[in-house]
């Protein structure tokens, strides 16, 4: 064989033009049918049956009959190449014997691997499958015990049919009698004798005496008055007896006779009671406003709850958020739609509407001295002054708007001071803001003070409350520790902190007696804490001793 210079040994033995790809796959398939090693070695050169053993060992290979034109050209296989092929064949044979390789299916397997993957179509969900009820924790459902809760969670949702009777979200009776058990009857009978003797509330005392009373106030009494969180509270204007009225998130209205140490509970509503006030013209009546869309007037002399107003239960926003009394026959009612309706209590219907805000109203307040004006605060941070004399059936024309950086951050309250010259607002941006309203058409912000107003979902919101006899003092709950109630001046200066060993929780809801130095705060566990001066607390202790001796 001619020797070629300038080429590597491999290139000399395997000229590029004479190389032919050996289909080892076919050779291996044929070799699997043979038994002897020599026959397997011959199978590498299928189609050349005339090769001798010496030719195979020396590496002299002639082309197959299909390539007879190149018969004269041969190539030698190096010792390395022969050894490599031998090792490949031995490895293959070993894999076949071990059952790791099936030569007959090799092509099919390789072809399957090389096939592109086809994405499977998503399976359609079975819309008829039954769903399991959503689980709620006991705390979210505000249940005190776990009775029957597990059973409720695993029960299937009942099928609603047109004929099925659903539980109503409100009590529909127009006249709802108060509970007539022995304790409540005795309690109400005792109140009737007192209410018949008092018809008006006196508001006397100098500024110096008022400040002195504020300095002497201390925690005097604590009572569990409601079974759930207190959301509305009121100190009744009675002077001969201390009476506290509170409304809870469960629609429960409670009366606490602090003087006698007695508590009775009623259920005139089925949703949170946001606002509780005593009738300004008749101390024997109490108004309560609830999220269930009803306003009721409790008549303590007749022992009934009269339904004086209700919203359309079919509407999307039928809840009521606040009320304000104008006179003996007229009530302003704030709605979750952002509207305020002026309700005639005799007709039990809205006479005028005011489109105050695009979203729910938090509080409304009538001007103390110019009662043709009222103030509204919304969850959007808007605070506006309105004129009741606008006799349109549906108006959105306001007198002025309080401008502040709090716009867009929810207001929780806004109230006029007792003489109407100031406004204080409580906002979720953690500020108390004070406004000068001597000119109602142009109110101006005068002071603001930082105050943590983020009470969270388990506490009622803070509402700063003016002292009923001073336009320079106001009270508000606090998130500070130890728990306390703060007294601020109208310039934002912290004047005093009311504390007590039994004040173990935060009191967001606050009310003051209109003429006596008495303050009460309600918490999320249904407890009421009463602060007063020593002379009144001594009288309370004396009354308790007299009751025990009798």
What predicted TM-score, i.e. pTM, was given to this entire model? 0.69
How many angstroms separate the CA atoms of 259 and 187, rounded?
Answer: 12
Residues 6 or more apart from 34 whose CB is under 8 A from it? 40, 42, 43
Q: In terms of DSSP bridges, do strands 383-387 and 373-378 run parallel, antiparallel, or are they unpaired? A: antiparallel
How many angstroms separate the CA atoms of 180 and 194, rounded?
Answer: 20
For 175-197+205-549, CATH gives 2.130.10.10
Nearest 5°: phi and psi at 162? -60, -25
pLDDT at 201: 56
Nearest to 190 by CA among 545, 541, 549, 547: 547
Cβ atoms of 423 and 417 closer than 8 Å: yes
CA dihedral 307, 313, 317, 318 (to 10 degrees): 0
pLDDT at 97: 79
Place of tokens 């109490």: 286
Q: E-strand spans in 267-303?
A: 273-278, 285-290, 294-299
CA dihedral 82, 83, 89, 91 (to 10 degrees): -170
pLDDT at 459: 93
Sorted by where each begins, the domain ranges of the chain are 9-110, 175-197+205-549
Nearest to 461 by CA among 447, 435, 479, 481: 479
State CA 511 to chain mean position distance: 27
Say if residue 317 is exposed, middle or buried (CB neighbours under 10 Å; 0-12, 13-18, 19+): middle
Number of H helices and number of E strands within the chain?
Answer: 10, 30
CA distances (Å), origin 161, targets 112, 205, 477: 56, 64, 48
CA dihedral 395, 396, 399, 404 (to 10 degrees): 160
How many angstroms separate the CA atoms of 267 and 286, rounded?
Answer: 14
For the chain, the distance separating the N- and C-terminal CA atoms, rounded to the nearest angstrom, is 139
Instruction: Kindly state the tokens that stand for 212.
Output: 């002195």
How many angstroms separate the CA atoms of 255 and 106, rounded?
Answer: 90
How many Cβ atoms sit within 10 Å of the Cβ of residue 70? 13
How many angstroms separate the CA atoms of 248 and 253, rounded?
Answer: 7
Q: Block means of pLDDT (10 residues each) for the chain, length 550 residues? A: 50 50 47 46 43 42 44 60 88 80 56 49 48 47 49 41 53 86 82 75 67 91 96 94 96 94 94 96 96 95 94 81 96 94 94 91 97 94 92 76 73 96 95 96 95 91 96 96 95 95 95 95 97 84 62
CA dihedral 256, 547, 545, 210 (to 10 degrees): 40
DSSP structure string for 392-453:
-SEE---SEE---TTTTS-EEEEEE-TTSSEEEEEETTTEEEEEE-SSTTS-EEEEEEE---
Cβ atoms of 423 and 435 closer than 8 Å: yes
How many angstroms separate the CA atoms of 60 and 62, rounded?
Answer: 7
Cβ atoms of 197 and 111 closer than 8 Å: no
């Amino acid at each position: 064989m001619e020797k070629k210079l300038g080429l590597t040994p491999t290139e000399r033995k395997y000229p590029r033009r004479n190389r032919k790809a050996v289909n080892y796959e076919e050779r291996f398939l044929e070799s699997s049918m043979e038994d002897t090693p020599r026959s397997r070695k011959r199978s590498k050169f299928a189609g050349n049956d005339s090769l001798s053993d010496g030719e195979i060992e020396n590496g002299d290979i002639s082309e197959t009959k299909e390539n007879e034109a190149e018969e004269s050209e041969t190539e030698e296989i190096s010792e390395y190449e022969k050894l490599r092929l031998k090792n490949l064949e031995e490895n293959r044979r070993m894999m076949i014997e071990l059952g790791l390789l099936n030569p007959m299916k090799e092509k099919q397997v390789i072809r399957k691997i090389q096939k592109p993957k086809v994405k499977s179509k998503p399976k359609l969900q079975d819309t008829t499958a039954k769903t399991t009820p959503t689980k709620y924790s006991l705390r979210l459902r505000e249940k005190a015990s776990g009775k029957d809760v597990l059973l409720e969670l695993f029960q299937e949702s009942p099928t609603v049919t047109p004929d099925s009777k659903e539980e109503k979200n409100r009590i529909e009776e127009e006249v709802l009698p108060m509970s007539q058990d022995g304790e409540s009857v005795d309690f109400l009978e005792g109140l009737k004798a007192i209410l018949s003797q008092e018809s008006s509330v006196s508001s006397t005392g100098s500024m110096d005496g008022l400040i002195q009373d504020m300095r002497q106030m201390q925690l005097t009494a604590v009572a569990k008055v409601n079974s759930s969180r207190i959301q509305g509270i009121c100190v009744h204007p009675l002077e001969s007896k201390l009476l506290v009225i509170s409304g809870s998130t469960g629609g429960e209205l409670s009366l606490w006779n602090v003087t006698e140490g007695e508590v009775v509970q009623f259920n005139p509503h089925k949703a949170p009671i946001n606002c509780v006030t005593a009738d300004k013209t008749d101390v024997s009546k109490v108004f309560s406003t609830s999220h269930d869309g009803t306003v009721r007037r409790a008549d303590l002399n007749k022992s009934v709850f009269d339904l004086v107003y209700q919203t359309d239960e079919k509407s999307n926003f039928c809840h009521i958020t606040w009320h304000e009394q104008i006179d003996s026959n007229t009530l302003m009612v704030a709605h979750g739609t952002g509207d305020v309706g002026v309700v005639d209590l005799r007709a039990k219907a809205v006479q005028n509407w005011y489109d105050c805000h695009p979203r729910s109203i938090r509080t409304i307040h009538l001007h103390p001295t110019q009662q043709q004006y009222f103030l509204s605060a919304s969850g959007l941070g808007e605070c506006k002054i309105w004129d009741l004399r606008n006799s349109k059936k549906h108006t959105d024309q306001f007198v002025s708007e309080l401008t502040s950086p709090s716009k867009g951050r929810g207001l929780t309250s806004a109230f006029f001071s007792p003489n109407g010259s100031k406004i204080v607002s409580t906002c979720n941006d953690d500020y108390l803001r004070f406004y000068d309203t001597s000119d109602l058409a142009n109110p101006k912000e005068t002071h603001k003070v930082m105050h943590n107003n983020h009470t969270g979902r388990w506490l009622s919101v803070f509402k700063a409350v003016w002292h009923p006899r001073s336009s320079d003092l106001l009270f508000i709950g606090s998130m500070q520790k130890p728990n306390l109630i703060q007294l601020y001046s109208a310039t934002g200066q912290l004047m005093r902190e009311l504390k007590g060993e039994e004040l173990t929780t935060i009191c967001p809801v606050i009310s003051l007696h209109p003429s006596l130095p008495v303050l009460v705060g309600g918490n999320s566990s249904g407890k009421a804490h009463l602060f007063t001066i020593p002379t009144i607390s001594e009288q309370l202790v004396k009354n308790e001793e007299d009751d025990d001796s009798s």
